[in-house]
Amino acid sequence: MGASSWTSRVPYQQDVRAALEVARQNAYDRGDYYRATPNTRARTMSEEEYVAWEMAELRLSLAEAFGDDAPEGDDTMARDSWRAAQVEVAGPDSLLDAQIYSGAHSVIDMTGVAPSPELGMVAPVPDDDLEEVFGTCRPTADAIAAAIAGGNLEDFGRWYGAYVVAHDGDVPESIIFFGHSGD
């Protein structure tokens, strides 16, 4: 499937972590995320039954691809898939728990705030970058949206998020989160 680009704007608040949680919940409430097809087979079997079935399928496909030189498979992914299938999705965090390998392709994939780029987290766009792109560290929401759409505002890569505080004059008015995530 590949990664998806996303943006999310929420009203400004000093606590960026709380603002991120608002953005994640808003995306969930709007259905602004990818939902993998639930693994109904895993829900009808015990963990051991499912792992045995999945490993038999894996051995068969490896034997077809490699013949007698087929490597031994590891059951970690089968166990993870079984556990994920048991999750009842009721919010952003449980959505991620239910689809551990695909992600949500939205701000929901970002689970915290870091001072600098970190996997699965949002980090502030450095002031030097803001000055270079906008000529100020206090850009407007419209300028930020245009920069993101035009590819002029760099995020930190796949599975990383960034944020910028949008201003109305000297007053912070919103926080805009953006990034690329999902597989």
Domain boundaries, the chain: 4-31+106-181, 40-88
pLDDT tops 90 at residue 146? yes
Residues above pLDDT 70, as percent of the chain: 99
Residue-wise DSSP of the chain: ---EEEEEEEE--S-HHHHHHHHHHHHHHHT-S--PPP-HHHHTS-HHHHHHHHHHHHHHHHHHHHGGGPPPPPSHHHHHHHHHHTPPP-SHHHHHHH-TTT--SSGGG--EE-SS--TTEEEEPPHHHHHHHHSSSS--HHHHHHHHHTT-S----BTEEEEEEEEETTEEEEEEEEEEE--
pLDDT digits (tens, 9 = 90+) for 151-166: 888 767 889 999 999 9
59-91: pLDDT as tens digits: 888 888 888 887 877 899 999 999 999 999 999
> What predicted TM-score, i.e. pTM, was given to this entire model?
0.89
